[in-house]
């Protein structure tokens, strides 16, 4: 049984999405980041960074959404969520996973940090314009890489699509234009997947249960 520690609409949503795609049994544990739950000693014992997601499977603990999604796919190879290790398809998958986390997401996280996540005295509003420009650059690279394909890493849905589509959804939430028709249609198509909708419902339901406790 997997246990996912997370918070709705955060990086943990990627992990719940991956678990829904493979049909795994799991439990969600709501970590109320707004109430400072990420910094409680019992949670820091699992994730020293105080962030989400954290995946727990027995005695095994794993953090970082990209690593967790890949681990889930590798645990359920028949689903095709991750390509087999050692081939060019896996290399292409890795390329887009790393791009999503290091290039596409980072400008958005910069915007998030300097608008709401960091203490006000640590925010630097002057960086926001540059971050928006950086996202536009990364979006152009992504649009060219996607082209007319349905999925980013090949001819089938993989966890790379989870990372990319979720990041593009963040951009939309920040009211940033994706700037390319193929990215718009890709995002709409991917976020219409039943597994993504179930993931959202699952995290929201757990948060409501926690708030009533």
pLDDT digits (tens, 9 = 90+) for 98-140: 999 999 999 999 999 999 999 999 999 999 999 999 999 999 9
Task: Please say if the pLDDT value at position 212 is more than 90.
Answer: no
Neighbours of 126 (CB within 10 A): 8
Task: Please say if the pLDDT value at position 146 is more than 70.
Answer: yes
pLDDT value at position 24?
98
The matching CATH number, chosen from 3.40.710.10, 1.10.1060.10, 1.20.1050.10, 2.60.40.10, for 88-193 is 1.20.1050.10
Residue 19 tokens read as: 């678990």
Of 10, 5, 16, nearest in space to 202 by CA: 16
Alpha carbons 21 and 146: distance in angstroms, whole number: 21
Task: Please say if the pLDDT value at position 73 is more than 80.
Answer: yes
- What does the domain layout of the chain look like in residue ranges? 2-80+195-212, 88-193
Q: Note the pTM of the prediction, 2 decimals.
A: 0.96
Bridge-based pairing state of the strands 2-6 and 60-63: unpaired
Provide CATH code, domain 2-80+195-212: 3.40.30.10
Which strands, in side-by-side order, build the sheet including 54-57?
A: 26-30, 2-6, 54-57, 60-63
């Amino acid at each position: 049984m997997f246990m996912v520690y997370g918070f709705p609409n955060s990086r943990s949503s990627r992990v719940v999405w991956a678990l829904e795609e493979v049909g795994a049994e799991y439990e969600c544990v709501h970590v109320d980041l707004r109430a400072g739950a990420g910094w409680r000693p019992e949670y820091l014992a699992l994730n020293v960074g105080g962030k989400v997601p954290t995946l727990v499977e027995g005695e095994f603990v794993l953090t970082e959404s990209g690593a967790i999604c890949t681990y889930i796919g590798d645990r359920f190879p028949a689903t095709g969520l991750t390509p087999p290790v050692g081939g060019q398809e896996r290399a292409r998958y890795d390329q887009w996973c790393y791009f999503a986390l290091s290039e596409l997401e980072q400008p958005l996280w910069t915007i998030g940090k300097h608008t709401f996540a960091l203490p006000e005295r640590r925010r630097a509003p002057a960086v926001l314009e540059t971050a928006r420009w950086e996202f536009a650059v990364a979006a152009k690279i992504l649009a060219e890489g996607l082209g007319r394909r349905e999925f980013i890493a090949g001819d089938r849905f993989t966890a790379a699509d989870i990372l990319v589509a979720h990041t593009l959804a963040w951009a939309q939430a920040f009211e940033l234009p994706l700037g390319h028709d193929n990215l718009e249609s890709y995002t709409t198509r991917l976020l219409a997947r039943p597994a993504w909708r179930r993931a959202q419902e699952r995290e929201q339901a757990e948060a409501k249960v926690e708030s009533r406790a």
